[in-house]
Amino acid sequence: MSGDDPFIDALQDWVEESMHRSIHAFIRFNRQSALSLSQINSLFRLYHRGPSPVSDLADHLGISTPAVSQLLAPLEDTGLVLRSEDPSDRRVKIIAITEKGAQRVEESMRARHTWLDDLAALIPPDEKAALLPFLVRLNEYSQALNEKLGHHHKCASTTIKSEA
C-alpha cells in the first residue's frame, strides 16, 4: 500500500473489493460443479487458448502428462472436453473444449460477475453516465499495460460440439 498516493490507495481498495467479491462468487459456483480447481483451470485454458496437446496442459498445470490424462478423464466422460489424435503426429493427443464445456466456463464467468448487477443498481443513472468514460479509459490503460508486458487475453471461439 502506498499511503502517499490517494489514487493508488483508491485503486487498491477497488481491486481488493472487486477481487474478493468475484473470487467468492467463483468459488461458490464452482463448488456446486464438483470439479477440482485443476479441472476448472484446464477448462478455462482450453476456452481461452483453444485446443491443446495434453503435454501443454501438463506444463500449464505443473503436473505430469499421465496426471493430466487422469484429471481430464472425468471431463471427457461428462462431455466437457474431447480428446483426439493430432493428425500430424498420432502419438500426440489433443484436448479441445466442447460446446458444453464452453457453456460451463461462461456460466462460471457470469456467476463471478453477478455482484456487478447489484452494484450497478445502486448507482444513479447520471453517475453511471459520468463514470462510464473513466471506466472505458481505465480498461484501455489496462490493455495497453498488457500489451507492453506481452500478455494477451483473447477468447478462443474454437469449441467442439459434443456428440452426446
Q: What is the pLDDT along the chain (164 residues), one digit of tens a residue?
A: 557 999 999 999 999 999 999 999 998 898 888 898 899 999 999 999 999 999 999 999 999 999 999 999 999 999 999 999 988 888 899 999 999 999 999 999 999 999 999 999 999 999 999 999 999 999 999 999 999 998 765 444 444 444 44
* pTM beyond 0.85: no
pLDDT computed for residue 150 by the predictor: 87
Segments making up each domain of the chain, as ranges: 6-149
The answer to whether 42 and 71 have CB atoms below 8 angstroms apart is yes
Contacts of 104 (CB under 8 A, 6+ apart): 33, 43, 80
3-state SS, residue 129 = helix
For the domain 6-149, what is the CATH code? 1.10.10.10
The rounded distance, in Å, linking the Cα atoms of 65 and 54 is 6
> In 6-163, which ranges are E strands?
52-53, 81-86, 89-97
111 with 104: CB under 8 angstroms?
no
